[in-house]
Amino acid sequence: MKNIAIIGSGISGLTAAYLLAKKHHVTVFEKNSRIGGHTATVDVDKDGKAYSIDTGFIVFNDKTYPNFLSLLSEIGIGRQATEMSFSVHNCQTGLEYNGHNLDTLFAQRRNLLRPSFWGLVKEILRFNKLCKNILESQNYHSGLTLGEFLTENNFSDFFSEHYILPMGAAIWSSSLAEMEDFEFKFFVQFFHNHGLLNIADRPQWYVIPNGSRSYLTPLTKTFKNSIKLNSNIKNIERNDGQIQIHFNDAPSETFDEVVIACHSDEALSLLSHPSDDEKEILGAMPYSQNSVILHTDESLLPHKEKAWASWNYQLSQDRNKAASVTYNMNILQGIKSPHTFCVTLNQKEAIDPKLILREFTYHHPIFSSSSIKAQQQRDKICGVKHTHYAGAYWHSGFHEDGVKSAVEVAKRFDCFLDK
């Protein structure tokens, strides 16, 4: 039996702890006063009625979340079907649409008479078909970016700015300019795997009933007494086959192994003597900071209610601005209320201060050609010097990826997730 330290209590750290606790002794260290990371459900009282609203991790599907679904099944957590729709609202021109169905696509009936809008629909179909053909032939140009692909294939600026770039920016919490620099192969494989190149036959999406935090208690049941909150770690030393964790306000602790399950930049900063490989690989995977506001200001949604979607993107003239997306939580979580609960990224200045309920800051990995190259070198540092790395940044940056990275670490210790 190994004595294993786990740094971080997001989905990666908790999954690693859950699996490793089947055969080993684990201790989880969390710098904050709560566990869960992006699993952050908050309680809101509005007009005397209580609501549980997710502000970080929200949705998953039945196609591309196999490890997370197995984990939920193993700990006895159910799921609630939801709608996954996407809208775009151009703040300058007033153009808006919701791609959920034909009725919402033409929520602005005047779009029926706009040649540019019909051109957008045709280009969406052409983009999907072309990407599927490339996937089938595996005919990728090395290092090709999404922006270069759009230019080479003569896609219009209208299509790029009103569909593919904002959709990608909403998914990865990035700017439109950053989306153009995305590696095309990474982008198109993700879109294909998530059914986003299909008009029909898309995955069924789900939320966790009563909020995503509902899975935390059953997941941590076997090691709940080994979770240490408010852990102020100074650094991690690796000497003579042992792991020493030093704290700013507590005695050092010694372990056989350590699983560092925080963000890549945080992981690097914790190492007292990182290797050249650790500096290069972890340093190539940066994170961006995103402001997240829970509020009830409907002005952040499209003007026409028929255009309201689960995800609502607001276009502005600033292409370098971080993703401006608003999640309609009433749609996503099936909330019945006279109030529309919204979670908005990076638009605090546009929200009526009187309607703000909570404020948060979340960090998301930035994907580029260099970060994707670094992902492929994980084995150079993971498992070396009794140090293991888990985090969604090793894959596509989502909840499933955090679980997957933890499953991969746990396999080294003969601990497995039931399938």
List pLDDT tens digits, range 203-260.
Answer: 999 999 999 999 999 999 999 999 999 999 999 999 989 999 999 999 999 999 999 9
- For residue 174, the model assigns a pLDDT of 87
What is residue 140's DSSP assignment? P
Q: 229 lies in which domain range?
A: 3-40+212-285+368-411
179 and 249, same domain (yes or no): no
pLDDT band at residue 196 using 50, 70 and 90 as cut-offs: confident
7 and 137, same domain (yes or no): no
- For residue 200, the model assigns a pLDDT of 72
129 and 255, same domain (yes or no): no
- For residue 378, the model assigns a pLDDT of 98
First to last CA, the chain: 24
- Does the structure show a pLDDT above 70 at 384? yes
196 and 106, same domain (yes or no): yes
| Contacts of residue 339, Cβ cutoff 8 Å, sequence gap at least 6 | 46, 47, 296
- Does the structure show a pLDDT above 90 at 75? yes
176 and 295, same domain (yes or no): yes
Specify the pairing of strand 253-255 against strand 41-46: unpaired
Quote the CA–CA distance of 329 and 340 in Å, as a whole number: 7
pLDDT band at residue 368 using 50, 70 and 90 as cut-offs: confident
- For residue 106, the model assigns a pLDDT of 82
Residue 58 lies in a domain: no
Residue 240 lies in a domain: yes
C-beta separation of 299 from 369 below 8 A:
no
Rg of the chain taking only CA atoms, in angstroms: 22
- For residue 55, the model assigns a pLDDT of 97
227 and 304, same domain (yes or no): no
CB atoms within 10 A of CB 169: 25
Residue 277 lies in a domain: yes
Residue 191 or 200, more confident: 191
Residue 75 lies in a domain: no
C-beta separation of 358 from 299 below 8 A:
no
pLDDT tens column, 165-181: 999 999 998 899 999 99
330 and 407, same domain (yes or no): no
Domain count, the chain: 2
SS3 readout for 330-387: HHHHCCCCCCCCEEEECCHHHCCHHHEEEEEEEEEECCCHHHHHHHCCHHHCCCECCE
pLDDT tens column, 104-132: 888 888 888 888 889 999 999 999 999 99
- 366 to each of 100, 138, 268, 393, how far by Cα in Å? 28, 25, 16, 9
As a whole-number percent, the residues of the chain with pLDDT over 90 amount to 83
Quote the CA–CA distance of 161 and 90 in Å, as a whole number: 9
- For residue 419, the model assigns a pLDDT of 62
Residue 109 or 397, more confident: 397
Domain holding 110: CATH number?
A: 3.90.660
Q: What's the chain's average pLDDT?
A: 94
Question: pTM (2 decimals)?
Answer: 0.93
pLDDT tens column, 78-99: 999 999 999 999 888 888 989 8
Ranked by mean pLDDT, the top range of 126-140, 261-275, 363-377 is: 261-275
- For residue 195, the model assigns a pLDDT of 85
- Does the structure show a pLDDT above 90 at 329? yes
pLDDT band at residue 47 using 50, 70 and 90 as cut-offs: very high
- Average pLDDT for residues 258-283, to the nearest whole number? 98
Domain holding 234: CATH number?
A: 3.50.50.60
pLDDT band at residue 101 using 50, 70 and 90 as cut-offs: confident
110 and 196, same domain (yes or no): yes
Residue 79 lies in a domain: no
Quote the CA–CA distance of 231 and 32 in Å, as a whole number: 7
Residue 390 lies in a domain: yes
